[in-house]
Amino acid sequence: MKNLLKLSVAVFIITAALFTSCKKDDDEKQPTNIDKTELQALYDEALALHDGAVEGTSAGQYAAGSKADFKIVIDAAKTVLDDLYTTEATVAAMITQLQTAMDVFITREIQPVSTEYLIAQWLFNGDATDNSGNGHDGELKSGHTNFYTAGSPVVPVLAADRFGNAESAYYFDKGANIEVPYSTQLNPASELSISVWIKMESQDNNDYIISLDRWIGYKLNLQSEDKVYYTIRKQTAPDTWEFVCDDDSNPFTVNENDWTNIIVSYGSAGVIKFFADGEKVREISDRGVTGNLMQVTKNFVIGQQLPTDDYIVEEPNATDGFFKGTIDDIRLYNKALTDAEALSIYTLENSEAQ
């Protein structure tokens, strides 16, 4: 009887332990039955978009690597859909993440960039002709007399482009520049975007890539530590003006002897954007200043601060202000390029078969 009592107690303890264990397991593993209808629909849409996309360098295709990045998030969404024990918060977060990834992927589609807003395009394929058809042809010029040995002026020299094609870009040094006669087209009233490829040779210099009367009009240059610097000035009243995009922060640094595509844009909404090789690296506002871009009358210059004759007169003791390295494929637009358009320009121009 005593042994039976002990056995009964033991069975009771084991049964209780099993019941407790099962209850604990049930609490931990119970399917949550979360409504995943919205996530499932978004997943189906994203997967169809991904599977139908083709990467390449033509309009309608997607930039290289876009599908792989998108697929990572799609696969993560699939994991959440298959998880019987996921939480409502996880599903909600996944919906947001997948929607964001899809929005980004859509911007990676290469778009034909309209020539409607194209002011000028210098391909430098053997000369400095403006290929936009607007007639803004450039003239090769020597630089400020302080920049070269007396009696030995230098002008831009044709060089190989980023694909190794001979005489398809220009090499600049010692103030050598390309001067383009002034036109109101080159001095748009409210919006301006610039795209250019450079292979910079670092120097202790205020490397001017593009300039329309420097900071009086607009300029694109490299400053300390080879940081990209873009300045635009707006006229806020008949006799007043203000710099609106002269920003000392660091959008990005250009690497020496590497080809880099730089795109900068400024829009009437007061936003300036910096793109490096198609990727937006910085976006800033113009601090609320209104008004049109400053109108100037000096010639447009590639590779030096000012047209040489003006430079000698205005700064006879100048010691810097020119670009050293190779420049190619310059575009000017009288509109603020979108993120997708900037990526499209980079992708199209990063392929030799453009």
pLDDT of residue 120: 97
CATH number for the domain running over 115-349? 2.60.120.200
pLDDT of residue 240: 66
Quick: pLDDT tens for 160-174. 999 999 999 999 999
Residues ≥6 apart with Cβ < 8 Å to 119: 132, 134, 136, 185, 186, 188, 332, 333, 334
Under a CB-based contact definition with an 8 Å cutoff, are residues 249 and 284 in contact? yes
Could you confirm whether domain 31-107 is CATH 1.20.1270.90? Answer: yes
Amino acid at position 224, single letter: S
Q: What is the pLDDT averaged over residues 111-131?
A: 93
Average pLDDT (129-137) is 97
Tokens 């575009």 locate to 331
pLDDT at residue 12 is higher than 70: no
**pLDDT value at 46 more than 80:** yes
> pLDDT above 70 covers what percent of the chain?
85
Distance in angstroms (rounded) separating the CA atoms of residues 279 and 37: 34
Supply the mean pLDDT for the chain.
86
**SS3 breakdown of the chain: % helix, strand, coil, rounded to 5?**
30, 25, 40
Specify the pLDDT at position 14. 28
Q: Please answer whether residues 130 and 138 qualify as being in contact, where contact means their C-beta atoms are separated by less than 8 angstroms.
A: yes
Residue type, position 289, single letter: V
Answer positive or negative: Cα dihedral of 208, 344, 138, 327.
positive
Q: Which residue has the higher pLDDT, 237 or 19?
A: 237
Instruction: Give the tens place of pLDDT for each residue, 54-70.
Output: 998 777 889 888 999 99
Distance, in Å, from the CA atom of 290 to the CA atom of 132, rounded to the nearest integer, reads 30
Query: Does 2 have pLDDT greater than 50?
Result: no
- Grade residue 13 by pLDDT with cuts at 50, 70 and 90: very low
Give CA–CA dist 254/46, Å, rounded: 35
The token duo for 290 is 């209104």
Q: What is the pLDDT of residues 283-332, one digit of tens each?
A: 887 666 667 888 899 999 999 999 999 999 999 999 889 999 999 999 99
Contact 265, 193 (CB under 8 A): yes
pLDDT tier at 223, thresholds 50, 70, 90 = confident
Please name the amino acid found at residue 330.
Answer: I
122, two tokens = 């210098």
pLDDT at 284: 83
Q: What is the pLDDT of residue 247?
A: 56
What's the pLDDT score for residue 1? 38
Q: Which helix (H) or strand (E) holds 80?
A: helix 66-82
- In this predicted structure, what is the pLDDT of residue 238? 62
Residues 89-107 pLDDT 10s: 999 999 999 999 999 999 8
Whether 191 shows a pLDDT value over 70: the answer reads: yes
Distance (Å, whole) CA 354 – CA 341: 15
In the chain, the percentage of residues whose pLDDT exceeds 90 is 61
pLDDT for the residue 210: 97
Judged by DSSP in three states, 331 sits in: strand
**Whole-number Å distance between alpha carbons of 4 and 23:** 28
Selection from 207, 264, 268 nearest residue 231 by Cα = 264
pLDDT score at 287: 64
Domain definitions of the chain by residue range: 31-107, 115-349
Beta strands in 244-293 (DSSP E): 259-266, 271-276, 279-285, 292-293
3-state secondary structure of 210: strand
